[in-house]
Chain A
Amino acid sequence: MTTASLPTPASWTDNKRYLWPLGALVMFLPMAGALAYQYSGWAITLWFGFFILYGLIPLADRLMGEDDSNPPDSAMGSLASDGYYRWALFASVPVYLGMWAYMIWFITSQTLPWYGWLGAVLSLGVGCGLAINIGHELGHQTDPLERFLAKLVLAPGFYGHFYVEHNRGHHVRVATPEDPASSRFGETFYEFLPRCVYGSFKSAWEIEKKRLAREGKSVWHWSNDNLQSWALTALLWGAMIAWLGWVALPVLVIAAVYGGSLLEVVNYLEHYGLMRQKRADGGYERCQPHHSWNSNHVVTNVLLYHLQRHSDHHANPTRSYQTLRNFEDVPRLPSGYAAMILFAYIPPLWFWLMDPKVVAHHGGDMRKANIKPSIREQVIARYSAAA
């Protein structure tokens, strides 16, 4: 594994430095759509968030291309400790929470045509999906402020279990058949989604149960991180319903479900078909850079806080977003996540695009791949015959 070579430290500047606040700014988009609607009366503006996610961002990724540069090692320390990056990330939290409350008020207090209502709810849901990614970055830090903000930002979208399951479940079992959040070769997104959501909730509950038992406490103890997160959701949702009435409930639920599905479709991309091998003693080898799919596309990397430099993230899970590096010779997606999720939604297209890459990655030896159990033997036989 090598990292890309670079200019000397003295001349190095972070070319994404002033782009990172975009992650907070995009959270304003559903509100911008709502305001545009109030001035123009055109319901299409309520679809802003939705269209930007599926249309503009994939296009912008293509136009802006990739950036494979890495900070030199000598700049890493100051880059990691530079408070600017911390605050650029923090800024997204109040913007998101404000946008969320504003949109629910807007949707429930205006008389919207059904297609306007749906556009506004889905655009809000895009915000909920992006917020889970912000919760992901915050939840990996060890500082108590970051950890609290992670719970807070996951609460409106009812995704608090992610705070527990991601670090202590997914990171431990990543790229193994035991991980609900690692997708398998031949598994469609629609098979993966229920397996992942159910498995992740169950895992989050068991992880906290085990931790609390070690401390001699019941799983129902208030310090259960799942219960804390869900209580925060109940508080926020309860406040919105008390304020706006029960008409707020379908908005809350649909935005949360759709936002959660966005996080899970990204999970679907990140480890598709990749598998850690078992050691002689039956344990799995360590997670290595070749166990994650990566992308260096600039636009999606900025909006997702370098989530797509996923190999480095799994190798160094507490490394903050601005310091994540591109590795050479790692599994690479043909585009950024925003375009890739469009493929994931259409299984034949996804298999057409990704299956040859998984097979090539394993050199045709599909015994090394994470395959949907019901087709495992067929897949291994098929590609070993071809090799």
Chain B
Amino acid sequence: MKKWRCLVCDFVYDEAQGWPDEGIAPGTKWEDVPAGWSCPDCGASKADFELVED
């Protein structure tokens, strides 16, 4: 499971957690998150996220 961080505001999308608030189930891989989804905190688009390197 990977994590993706918003380049604008630092919000982190954790694949393990998903984002159930908006119907994205825990375990949803980043590539399966809808293209129209945007950062819940600041609204940046999905393309404005980068992979968090461990």
Are A and B associated in one complex? yes
Query: Is A171's CB under 8 angstroms from B21's CB?
Result: no
Cβ–Cβ < 8 Å partners of A283 in chain B: 21
Query: Is B8's CB under 8 angstroms from A286's CB?
Result: no
Most B C-beta atoms less than 10 A away, residue of A207, A281, A316: A316
CA gap between A201 and B46 in the complex, in Å: 29
Most A C-beta atoms less than 10 A away, residue of B9, B10, B11, B45: B9
CA gap between A287 and B39 in the complex, in Å: 10
Query: Is B44's CB under 8 angstroms from A318's CB?
Result: yes
Taking the closest CB of chain B, its distance from the CB of A369, in whole angstroms, is 22
Nearest-neighbor residue (CB-CB) of A288 within chain B = B43
Cβ–Cβ < 8 Å partners of A278 in chain B: none
B42 within 8 A of A: yes
Query: Is A317's CB under 8 angstroms from B42's CB?
Result: yes
Known: A142-B48, A281-B21. A315 touches B43 (CB 8 A): yes
Cβ–Cβ < 8 Å partners of B16 in chain A: none
Nearest-neighbor residue (CB-CB) of A142 within chain B = B7
The A/B interface has a contact count, at CB < 8 Å, of: 44
Nearest-neighbor residue (CB-CB) of B7 within chain A = A142
Cβ–Cβ < 8 Å partners of A316 in chain B: 38, 43-45
Give which listed residue, A171, A279, A286, A315, contacts B9 with CB less than 8 A.
Answer: A171
| Interface SS of chain A | loop
The 8 closest A-B pairs by CB, nearest first: A171-B42, A172-B41, A168-B9, A142-B7, A167-B8, A172-B9, A318-B48, A315-B43
B27 within 8 A of A: no
- 9 pairs from A and B in contact (CB 8 Å cutoff): A167-B42, A172-B11, A281-B21, A283-B21, A315-B43, A317-B8, A317-B44, A318-B44, A318-B45
Taking the closest CB of chain B, its distance from the CB of A114, in whole angstroms, is 45
Known: A140-B8, A171-B9, A211-B10. A317 touches B43 (CB 8 A): yes
Give which listed residue, A171, A279, A281, contacts B8 with CB less than 8 A.
Answer: A171
